[in-house]
Amino acid sequence: MHSPMEQFEIKRLLDFKIGGLDASFTNSSLWMIIAVILATGVFVMGMRQRALVPGRLQSVAELGYEFIAGMVRDNVGDQGKKYFPFILTLFIFILFANVLGMVPYSFTPTSHIVVTFAMALFVFVGVTLIGLARHGLHFFSLFVPKGVPWVLLLLLVPIEIISYFIRPFSLSIRLFANMLAGHTMLKVFGGFVVMLGLIGGWAPLAFIVVFTGLELLIAFLQAYVFAILTCLYLNDAIHLHH
Amino acid sequence: MRTPVYSALAAGLVSFAVSGTAAAKSGGMPQLDVHSFAPQLVWLVIAFVALYLVMSRLAVPAISDTLAKRQAKIQGDLDAAEKANEDTRALVAAYEKRLADAREESRRLQRQQAEADSTVATARFNELAERLNGRIAEAEKRIAGQRDTVMAGLEQMAGEIAQSAYAKLAGQPADGAALGAKVATAVKGTSR
């Protein structure tokens, strides 16, 4: 019986060192690269014909594009156009990593907190810098809710500051924990199937079938949540209102 | 039957707990293995930057270009359809105007014809009436002439009768002129 945590182990496939930095090619790297190659396949190969009446692959590419374009337009507005390629990349990368993680024997790069935290921190720092560059010191008015008596401000401003700095953690842990919990759950119930055998194994097997569908939904949903929260943070930084 | 299921379930849970603690002993969650952080971050940056370049340089321009072209095509088609629609409407309006004009013209002609017809009929009626009147007048003249002739004959005859009657009654011939005047007056009085 394998540990349900074993699926998350990083296995070094090729050892590399750049300077003193360990840049080994691992199973995580492999699946990141596969995600990038597949996404490139959909978005570049699919768009090769640039047909006015799109084929199947082109429809998928356009669907993804319009989905995120609409999200950025609705949540950030016209000033968000500059950041659209980044948010599209973020969504597609997380989506492909999550969904590919559902393939048996694959690896889910987004099930590691260091990966999700790096992305969340990049978003957080980037959004903060955009806010500071746009509004200078006025950016800090984001922490002061409007139309509130000053006594309450003593309480609310620290809360606003804490909730602002908690953003990279909530953003990264949400994605990481969802991936971790889903895959662990599948593995545990897979273990039950083996243990209960032909007699009782059908019940956990049926559960796994249903749960796999739910996991596919979550794989999409978490990519969506990550992208839309990035849009909302960006909107805060650009427009300075809640 | 049921007992082995439950015992297997219990065994599973126990082995899960044991393996969990075993994993914890051998360094805990793989996610917390600090030595794996660097390679993951390096390859995250490589993969993400690669995908970003692909998206921003190739995919986004291609898709936005295609969408803009499609939008332009659809808008152009819609405009053309709108124009064709307007043309059709104008044609229909022109057709209906011509139809109305033609109808109006036909009504006018009909009216004119009817008027002309009635003028002709009146003229013919008048002509007929005139002719009839002429014939009536002619007939009356003829009748008057005949009557005059008859009257002249009557006067002469009355004169002769009066003369012969006078001669028989008086036994002498009558003064022809005086008797003739009296007879003429009497005849005229009766004929009136």
pLDDT for the residue B23: 47
* Rounded average pLDDT over B150-160: 83
pLDDT for the residue A57: 92
Q: Measured between alpha carbons, how far is A138 from A238 in angstroms, rounded to an integer?
A: 11
Q: Measured between alpha carbons, how far is B15 from B87 in angstroms, rounded to an integer?
A: 82
Shortest CA distance to B44 belongs to which of A53, A89, A41? A89
For residue B93, give how far its alpha carbon lies from the nearest alpha carbon of chain A (Å). Answer: 37
Q: Which of A1, A2, A5 to mutate to test the interface with B (most CBs of B within 10 A)?
A: A5
Instruction: Using a pLDDT cut of 70, give the percent of chain A over it.
Output: 99
Test A28 with B4 for CB contact under 8 angstroms.
no
* Rounded average pLDDT over A192-208: 91
The CA distances from residue A132 to A126, A135, A139, A239, in Å, are 10, 5, 6, 12
Most confident of A46-50, A175-179, B34-38: A175-179
Test A43 with B58 for CB contact under 8 angstroms.
yes
Most confident of A43-57, A190-204, A222-236: A222-236
Chain B residue closest in CA terms to A20: B38
- Residues of B with CB below 8 A from A66's CB? 67
* Rounded average pLDDT over A167-178: 96
Q: How many CB atoms lie within 10 A of CB B171?
A: 7
Test A191 with B4 for CB contact under 8 angstroms.
no
- Residues of A with CB below 8 A from B15's CB? 1, 191, 195
Test B51 with A200 for CB contact under 8 angstroms.
no
**pLDDT tens readout for residues A95-133:** 999 999 999 999 999 999 999 999 999 999 999 999 999
Q: Give the rounded distance of the alpha carbon of A122 from its chain centre.
A: 12
Test A43 with B23 for CB contact under 8 angstroms.
no
Test B40 with A3 for CB contact under 8 angstroms.
no
A242 touching B, CB under 8 A?
Answer: no
For residue A50, give how far its alpha carbon lies from the nearest alpha carbon of chain B (Å). Answer: 6
Test B30 with A200 for CB contact under 8 angstroms.
no
| Token representation of residue A49 | 């014909």
Q: Give the rounded distance of the alpha carbon of B70 from its chain centre.
A: 42
pLDDT for the residue B152: 83
**pLDDT tens readout for residues B114-153:** 999 999 999 999 999 999 999 999 999 999 999 888 888 8
- Residues of A with CB below 8 A from B31's CB? 8, 111-114, 176, 180
Judge whether residue B1 has pLDDT over 60.
Answer: no
At residue B99 the predicted structure's pLDDT band, cuts being 50, 70 and 90, is: very high
Test A47 with B73 for CB contact under 8 angstroms.
no
**pLDDT tens readout for residues B23-81:** 444 557 888 888 899 999 999 999 999 999 999 999 999 999 999 999 999 999 999 99
Report the complex ipTM: 0.92
At residue B2 the predicted structure's pLDDT band, cuts being 50, 70 and 90, is: very low
For residue B33, give how far its alpha carbon lies from the nearest alpha carbon of chain A (Å). Answer: 9
Query: Using the 8-state DSSP alphabet, how is residue B56 labeled?
Result: I
Test A65 with B47 for CB contact under 8 angstroms.
no
Chain A residue closest in CA terms to B18: A3
For residue B75, give how far its alpha carbon lies from the nearest alpha carbon of chain A (Å). Answer: 13
* Rounded average pLDDT over A162-175: 96
Test A52 with B15 for CB contact under 8 angstroms.
no
The 3-class secondary structure across chain A, one letter per residue, is: CCCCCHHHCCCEEECCEECCEECCEEHHHHHHHHHHHHHHHHHHHCCCCCCCCCCHHHHHHHHHHHHHHHHHHHHCCHHHHHHHHHHHHHHHHHHHHHHHCCCCCCCCHHHCHHHHHHHHHHHHHHHHHHHHHHHHHHHHHHHCCCCCCHHHHHHHHHHHHHHHHCHHHHHHHHHHHHHHHHHHHHHHHHHHHHHHHHHHCHHHHHHHHHHHHHHHHHHHHHHHHHHHHHHHHHHHHHHCCC
Q: Which of A42, A195, A199, A230 to mutate to test the interface with B (most CBs of B within 10 A)?
A: A195
Test A195 with B9 for CB contact under 8 angstroms.
yes
